[in-house]
């Protein structure tokens, strides 16, 4: 059965910038977890950032532009943490590929894990359309990313691919 890369914070790991997790109730996640199919992964920790850490946002663009070197990620004290985010994304891709994970379920709005929305770079809780750095790299490499709000869509996708 196909493995699924999942944002570690959605699975009870307290790895967010504020040292919390994001409790996520889902019968599907519970079932996949009991089947041993979930790979918990936090790209920001894998990229060398600490827990807790300063909140960070992508300035002016989105994760694809960070990969292309035309945008950067800064924390709220003005430190450039782009390399940490890019390294974490690369490790997420390596982990997904080495485990044959065809899809990922990642936390929406994160500058690493967001798939439809991220924050706008002003640290004022304003969101905009865009992908995080890890999501952009996974999707560029053929790994379909769903958000934590799209878990049923992920299950339908796996069913369509006949890898439920
Ligand atoms: Fe969760 Fe992703 Fe942020 Fe790590 S980088 S805390 S997995 S949303």
For 51-82, the pLDDT digits (tens) are 999 999 999 999 999 999 999 999 999 999 99
Q: Which atom of ligand 1 is nearest to the CA of 110?
A: 8
Nearest CA to ligand 1 atom 3: 16
Q: Which atom of ligand 1 is nearest to the CA of 15?
A: 6
State yes or no: pLDDT of 164 exceeds 70.
Answer: no
Beta bridge partners, 146, equal 105
Nearest CA to ligand 1 atom 6: 16
Q: How confident is the model at residue 148 (pLDDT cuts 50, 70, 90)?
A: very high
pLDDT at 1: 65
Closest CA to 92 of 56, 145, 52, 54: 145
Ligand 1: centre distance to CA 15 (Å):
7
Q: Which residues contact ligand 1 via a Cβ below 6 A?
A: 7-9, 15-16, 42-44, 107, 110, 112-113
Cα torsion 70, 82, 41, 148 to 10°: value is -50
Q: How confident is the model at residue 42 (pLDDT cuts 50, 70, 90)?
A: very high
Ligand 1: centre distance to CA 138 (Å):
15
Average of per-residue pLDDT across 140-164: 92
pLDDT at 161: 86
- Strands 56-59 and 127-129 turn out to be unpaired
pLDDT, tens digit (0-9, with 9 covering 90-100), for 97-112:
999 999 999 999 999 9
pTM: 0.97
Ligand 1: centre distance to CA 13 (Å):
9
State yes or no: pLDDT of 121 exceeds 70.
Answer: yes
State yes or no: pLDDT of 45 exceeds 80.
Answer: yes
pLDDT at 2: 86
% of the chain beyond a pLDDT of 90: 96
Ligand 1, pocket-test mutation among 10, 15, 41, 66, most atoms within 8 A of CB: 15
Ligand 1: centre distance to CA 164 (Å):
25
State yes or no: pLDDT of 163 exceeds 70.
Answer: no
How far apart, in whole angstroms, are the C-alpha atoms of residue 127 and residue 85?
19
Are the CB atoms for 98 and 90 separated by under 8 Å? no
Are the CB atoms for 76 and 18 separated by under 8 Å? no
Tokens linked to 51: 């827990």
Alpha helices, H only, 35-132: 43-46, 63-68, 82-98
From the number of C-beta atoms within 10 Å of its C-beta (0-12, 13-18, 19+), residue 10 rates as: buried
How far apart, in whole angstroms, are the C-alpha atoms of residue 116 and residue 94?
22
């Amino acid at each position: 059965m196909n493995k699924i890369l999942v944002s570690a914070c959605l699975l009870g790991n307290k790895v967010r910038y504020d040292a919390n997790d994001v409790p996520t109730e889902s019968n599907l996640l519970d079932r996949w977890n009991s089947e041993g199919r979930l790979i918990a992964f936090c790209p920001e920790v894998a990229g060398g950032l600490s827990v807790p850490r300063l909140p960070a946002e992508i300035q002016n663009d989105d994760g694809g532009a960070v990969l292309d070197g035309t945008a950067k990620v800064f924390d709220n004290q003005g430190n450039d943490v782009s390399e940490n985010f890019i390294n974490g994304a690369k490790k997420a891709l390596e982990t997904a590929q080495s485990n044959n994970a065809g899809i990922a379920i990642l936390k929406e709005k994160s500058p690493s894990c967001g798939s439809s929305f991220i924050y706008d770079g002003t640290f004022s809780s304003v969101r905009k359309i865009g992908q995080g750095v890890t999501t952009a790299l996974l999707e560029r490499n053929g790994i379909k990313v769903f958000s934590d709000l799209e878990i049923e869509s992920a299950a339908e996708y796996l069913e369509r691919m006949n890898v439920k």
